[in-house]
Amino acid sequence: MQPTFDDAWEIANGIDGWLLERQGRALFEAAGRVPHGASAVEIGSHRGKSAVLIAMGLPQDVRLTAVDPFDDPRWGGGTESLTLFQENLRRAGLSGQVDLFKGLSEEASKDWVGLPVGFLWVDGAHDLESTLKDFDGWMPHLTRGAELYVHDAFSAVGTTRAILRRFLFSPNVRYIGSERTLAKFKVEPLTLLQRLASAMGIASQLPFFARMVAIKLSRRRGLHRLERRFMREDNEPLI
């Protein structure tokens, strides 16, 4: 029996990570749309929060490949993080449905011999160079109609710059919306009007991006009154 989102969230919500419930639902539902004969890939796994949501949402004959070097000390990388990732998958009963590539995204995409990718979740290093490598390395493996979701979009400067460079006027990647800092794209040929509409959708997120950057800078410099002013419209976490 296919699990529900509530089933998946009950497990994932207890795993350390940075996802709002509505972002988790978006991942779960996108995973459910991966067609037979395709696969799913996530870039950046941390301790398995998103992997659990995606794997539980996938059709039973579709596999997820999790790509992470598990070596970034900023996010608790190392043996402990890898062990927790594997343990969380085991507890969720998903060890047999998730393949782990312990290494960099560019290495995984270069050596990819798996099925075409119907869903790609990018939640990697968030700097410009790494995110561009994520996009450029995996785009050739995406099926027509594949969904591409990006975390920390219109929040992290590097991720946002990469989106603007690659997708603002893309002829084959359409912006379809956001769940706060999770941006959703679809791979398909676009007409000129569709390209303009997609570009306008991306551009519409730039005021939000400016506010997120202002909040982070204010927080970093201890300007709490200014931070509260920028956050007055909502109190959701910056994820």
Name residue, tokens 């419209």. 233
Which pLDDT value is given to residue 226? Answer: 56
CA–CA distance, 60 with 76 (Å, rounded to integer):
31
Nearest residue to 34 via CA among 197, 149, 132, 124: 149
Name residue, tokens 């290494």. 103
Which pLDDT value is given to residue 215? Answer: 81
Any idea where the domains of the chain sit in the sequence? 5-204, 206-239
Nearest residue to 160 via CA among 182, 191, 177: 182
Q: At what angle do helices 49-57 and 5-12 cross, to 10 degrees?
A: 160
The fold for domain 5-204 equals: Rossmann fold (3.40.50)
Alpha carbon distances (Å) from 203 to 71, 86, 173, 223, 230 = 34, 39, 15, 28, 20
CA–CA distance, 4 with 187 (Å, rounded to integer):
26
Q: How many residues does the chain have?
A: 239
CA–CA distance, 71 with 83 (Å, rounded to integer):
12
Positions of the chain with pLDDT lower than 70, given as ranges: 72-78, 223-239
Q: Which tokens sit at 107? A: 């290495």
Q: Which tokens sit at 189? A: 């040929």
Which pLDDT value is given to residue 239? Answer: 54
Which pLDDT value is given to residue 173? Answer: 99
pLDDT, tens digit (0-9, with 9 covering 90-100), for 60-83: 999 999 999 998 665 555 678 899
